[in-house]
Amino acid sequence: MPRFLILPSHKNEKHIILLEDIIRFCLPSIFSFFGYDTFSSHIIKVTRDAEIDIDNDISTSLIQKIEKGLKNRKKGKPVRFVFDKDIEPSLLTYLVKKIGLSLKGNLIPGGRIHNFKDFINFPESVFEQKNVRKKPFIHPAFHNNNRIADLVLKKDILLNFPYHSFETVIDLLREAAIDPEVISIKITCYRLATRSKIVNALTNAVRNGKEVTVALELRARFDEEANLEWKEELEEAG
């Protein structure tokens, strides 16, 4: 379920409830079989150390070390604990002890709402007006040119992202993938999209007999798992 749910509203009003408030409201129903008379709830947020430690074991490859590190990341050492400032002191002490922090650790009293990054997905339907986000634009040098490679071979062109469209780079790779004069393609990748057009272009180049070399950063922070999957796909493509 989404974190924000729109409730039936009066005219000219928009009523929205958070998912955690629905759970809070329904606690008597959820725990009805315990026979309790009073209920309380508090939201906490634990931040763990996400650093991947690469050991010096020479018997394992870098890839195996990263895979091991990804599994251990979920059990990383807690480095910050944000809690509802209205929480009972005894419950706070219990939670801090269970998590493995000390009362002198990085404990931050907060409000009832955490994870504000989710607000980027706030329901758009509640707004009457929305500012249109400016889209990246094509560099003027490419407006009247059919082949990007022809223009790039004549002079240097500086692209500034995200202001310029990245489609120009993808089009250049697509041209290279089918150009009979292109023998090899070499590229460095750090982060790739979920459905990468760059990988598609590189794969097509291999199918067309080009020699393709990709330097892929396996330790791209928080993209390690995705890049390991891209590594497998690129290797299978040749």
Half-sphere exposure of residue 215: CA atoms within 13 angstroms, side-chain side: 3
CATH code for position 145: 3.30.870.10
* Overall average pLDDT of the 105-125 stretch: 86
Evaluate if pTM is beyond 0.75. Answer: no
Instruction: Say what the pLDDT of residue 186 is.
Output: 97
Cα dihedral 10, 19, 87, 35, rounded to 10, equals: 100
100 has pLDDT over 90: no
Q: How far is CA 26 from CA 44, 86, 114, 184, in A?
A: 19, 20, 20, 62
Residue 135 lies in a domain: no
**pLDDT at residue 117 is higher than 90:** no
Give the mean model confidence (pLDDT) for residues 124-135: 83
212 and 225 inside one domain: yes
Kindly state whether residues 29 and 105 are assigned to the same domain. no
Question: Sheet holding 78-84: strands in order across?
Answer: 44-48, 78-84, 107-110
* Boundaries of domain holding 81: 42-51+63-121
Total number of domains constituting the chain: 3
Residues 150 and 213 in one domain: yes
Taking only the tens place, the pLDDT of each residue in 197-238 is 999 999 999 999 999 999 998 878 778 888 888 888 999 999
